[in-house]
């Protein structure tokens, strides 16, 4: 497939993703979605996953869960939020909700009160990093100069949770994840495939999901991201969403620059942003010279 055709197909998948987001509460099937874009179901499954990183069904499930979380944050009762978001039963959302949130819906509405979040630190070439996770996914990856300031930041993000240092006995996955992230930063290992527990407004989550589709070694402008999520006038809001990102590297907001090519902002310092982009550029194969 030629480059223009690839770009066209990519944009088509982004459009389909937005459509799924808007209809997340409806009973969509792979066959009906494939018919909408003129592909076979198996071809759609492959192309959509290549572009978005997940299948259309997984994308819809995630969108439905985001709508459910938003309803909870806006004050809806748990049962009302369940049916407003398109879930067919209370038992189903409690099972899926715990997998997606790392906690029950009621606990999420209460601000993670009483829930356990484990955390760990590592020294990397970019400085001290903390990773924290619920039972089912990473909810926090941040850099700072001291362990104390990182712990304070985690407490501000999750003031009602029970925070504890990760141990191999209680949370071996977290230790493995942070080791994999450390290897990614320092030793050019591939970005680890780590489950994320993403929380934010519907707009922020849309931006953060899009950022995960930017390949290593590539950069976009804030305007590009706004267009990519179907909100071309929301450039400033995209910048704000990048600044609110609490999961560094795994949600790669460092790959977004100002329209003039300047670095723009970065929550963890412009030196780190520049270093990350330089490392990614060096280990990304460059196209052969055609001249």
Q: Tell me how far CA of residue 155 lies from CA of 119, 133, 164, 267, 287, in angstroms.
A: 11, 13, 11, 17, 45
- Cβ neighbours for 136, distance < 8 A, ≥ 6 positions apart: 98, 99, 100, 101, 102, 195, 197
For residue 123, report the phi and psi dihedrals to the nearest 5 degrees. Answer: -90, 130
Tokens 């990773």 sit on residue: 131
C-alpha to C-alpha distance for 129 and 150, rounded to whole angstroms: 8
- Give the sign of the dihedral formed by CA 38, CA 40, CA 45, CA 50: negative
Question: Which among 139, 183, 242, 253 is annotated as catalytic?
Answer: 253
- H helices within the chain, ranges in order? 3-22, 30-37, 41-52, 56-73, 78-84, 90-101, 105-109, 147-157, 172-187, 202-211, 222-228, 235-244, 270-282
253 is catalytic: yes
Sheet holding 162-165, edge to edge: 138-144, 127-133, 116-124, 162-165
C-alpha to C-alpha distance for 109 and 70, rounded to whole angstroms: 10
Tokens 């990760």 sit on residue: 166
Please report which helix (H) or strand (E) contains residue 163, including its range.
strand 162-165
Residues serving a catalytic function are 253
């Amino acid at each position: 497939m030629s480059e223009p055709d690839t770009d066209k197909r990519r944009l088509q998948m982004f459009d389909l993703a937005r459509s799924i987001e808007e209809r997340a509460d409806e009973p969509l099937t792979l066959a009906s979605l494939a018919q909408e874009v003129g592909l076979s179901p198996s071809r759609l499954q492959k192309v959509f996953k290549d572009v978005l990183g997940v299948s259309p069904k997984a994308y819809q499930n995630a969108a439905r869960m985001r709508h459910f979380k938003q309803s909870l944050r806006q004050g809806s009762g748990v049962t009302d939020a369940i049916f407003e978001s398109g879930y067919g039963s209370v038992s189903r959302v409690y099972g899926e909700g715990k997998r997606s949130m790392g906690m029950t819906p009621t606990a999420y509405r209460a601000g993670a009160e009483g829930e356990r979040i484990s955390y760990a630190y590592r020294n990397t070439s970019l400085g001290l990093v903390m990773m924290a996770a619920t039972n089912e996914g990473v909810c926090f990856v941040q850099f700072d100069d001291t362990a104390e300031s990182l712990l304070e930041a985690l407490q501000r993000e999750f003031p009602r949770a029970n925070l504890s240092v990760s141990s191999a006995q209680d949370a071996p996955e977290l230790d493995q994840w942070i080791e994999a992230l450390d290897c990614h930063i320092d030793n050019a290992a591939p970005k680890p495939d780590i489950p994320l527990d993403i929380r934010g407004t519907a707009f922020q989550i849309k931006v953060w999901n899009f950022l995960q589709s930017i390949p290593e070694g590539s950069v976009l402008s804030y305007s590009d991201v706004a267009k990519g999520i179907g909100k071309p006038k929301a450039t400033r809001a995209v910048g704000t969403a990048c600044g609110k990102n609490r999961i560094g590297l795994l949600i790669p907001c460092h790959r977004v620059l100002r329209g003039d090519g300047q670095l723009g902002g970065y929550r963890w310092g412009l030196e780190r942003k520049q270093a990350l982009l330089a490392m990614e550029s060096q280990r990304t194969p460059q196209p052969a010279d055609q001249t």
